[in-house]
Every structure is written in C-alpha cells, then in structure tokens.
Amino acid sequence: NAGVTQTPKFQVLKTGQSMTLQCAQDMNHEYMSWYRQDPGMGLRLIHYSVGAGITDQGEVPNGYNVSRSTTEDFPLRLLSAAPSQTSVYFCASSPRLNTEAFFGQGTRLTVV
C-alpha cells in the first residue's frame, strides 16, 4: 500500500542550486498536483496534471517546472533555488474529478 511517495523527505539547498523533488503514485490516478505550505498557511497549488503529457500552472508556478511523461510520476523541478522557496512541498493524486485526493508525506526544503 505505497499510495503517494515523495522523495526526499528533507533537503537543504544553497541559493542557485537546482534539484528535483520526486513524486510517484501506484494507484493509476490520472490527476496529480504539487502544493507548497509555508508556516501558518494553507496549501498553495504550484502545478497540476490531468494526465500523462498534460500539465498546467497553479497559483504559484514561478521558479518551478513540471513534466508528466508517465501516469505514475510527476517530478517538480526547482531551476535555481531561492530562500523564498523554503517550504514544505506536498504531492497529491486522485483518480478523477471530485473524488478523494491522496497526499504524500511531504518534502521539507530549506534554501540557504
């Protein structure tokens, strides 16, 4: 019962470095999303995908890229990390619209 798996769980980056946050789901869900959560705030949508090969921007897409080459994987790329990207990142998937979304356990990213 893996569900939604995010790696790594923790990461420290230096300003300007790039990295990829991994997200994989084994439930054959069409829809996948990335959110960030800053202290004391709700989650904000970064990017989402409604199926393999299809992605779109959410509320706060600047500084992030995504791709969806397979149904299972939806990686989030930070092109040039900035301290403002220090946050907890959550990946989610759901089988279709208006059904339960399943979230991963999060990746805590610190940019120094």
Partner 1 sequence: DAKTTQPNSMESNEEEPVHLPCNHSTISGTDYIHWYRQLPSQGPEYVIHGLTSNVNNRMASLAIAEDRKSSTLILHRATLRDAAVYYCILRAYGGATNKLIFGTGTLLAVQP
Work out whether 63 is an interface residue with partner 1 (CB under 8 A): no
CB-wise, 35 or 78, nearer to partner 1? 35
Give me the least distance between CB of 97 and partner 1, in Å please. Answer: 6
CB-wise, 60 or 82, nearer to partner 1? 60
* Gyration radius (Cα) of the chain, Å: 13
Q: If residue 110 lies in a helix (H) or strand (E), which one and from where to where? A: strand 107-111
How many residues of this chain interact with partner 1, rule: CB under 8 A?
A: 28
Cα–Cα distance, 41 to 20 (Å, whole number):
24
